[in-house]
Amino acid sequence: DTSQGDPRPGPDATKWCVGIAVDVEGGKFYWTQKGPDNANQGRIFRANVEIPSGQTPANRRDVELVYDSLPEPIDLDIDPATRTLYWTDRGDPPRGNTVNRAPLDARQRERKAPEIVFSNLMEGIGLALDHKNGRMFITDLGGSVYSANLDGSNQKVVVFAEGNLTGIAYAEMNTKEK
């Protein structure tokens, strides 16, 4: 039971942390707890990167529930320029097997519900944003890699059915020799 300082996830799937992302600008980190398969009990939480004075990881009081009743949220990434949170969800359609986005900031979240920007994945898992070029890359358990603009337009299959893919990372490398 992680709430008692035990790092093992325990039998309660609603407490399993799956994905994590850090909002450097906002000083917060976000994580998903997917919940049981296709149960619409998935949640996204956030807390301050710095643990409040006098508190510990087990008793900190700054944990906030950002979204709940999600099919099965998995991976997260943040677009710091637009203050937008993106996540994959591998639960059942229509809200699962998707990439979703929503504002990070509370006032905007109150006015705008999460938006599905990519759908029809085969259990969407991995997500990585290319901030410089305004793209996202997604993997699914069907073994495919997809790309799209951050608004979900210009969707492309990069790799199709190459085995189970469980994550993805994006990095720009400086290949110029000095």
CATH number at 127 reads: 2.120.10.30
Query: Is 93 inside a domain boundary?
Result: yes
CB count in 10 Å sphere of residue 42: 28
Question: Do residues 76 and 44 make contact, with C-beta atoms less than 8 angstroms apart?
Answer: yes
Q: Please choose, from the candidates 56, 9, 52, the residue with its C-alpha nearest in 3D space to the C-alpha of residue 33.
A: 9
Kindly report, residue by residue over 50-108, the tens digit of the pLDDT. Answer: 999 999 988 899 999 999 999 999 999 999 999 999 999 999 999 999 999 999 887 76
Amino acid at the residue 12: D
Q: Please choose, from the candidates 138, 131, 114, the residue with its C-alpha nearest in 3D space to the C-alpha of residue 172.
A: 131
Query: Is 108 inside a domain boundary?
Result: yes
Query: Is 58 inside a domain boundary?
Result: yes
CB count in 10 Å sphere of residue 47: 18
Check: pTM over 0.85? Answer yes or no. Answer: yes
Query: Is 71 inside a domain boundary?
Result: yes
Cis peptide before 94 (omega within 30 of 0): yes
Query: Is 178 inside a domain boundary?
Result: no
Instruction: Say how many domains are in the chain.
Output: 1
Domain containing 66 equals 2-159
Kindly report, residue by residue over 112-159, the tens digit of the pLDDT. Answer: 789 999 999 999 999 999 999 999 999 999 999 999 999 999 999 999
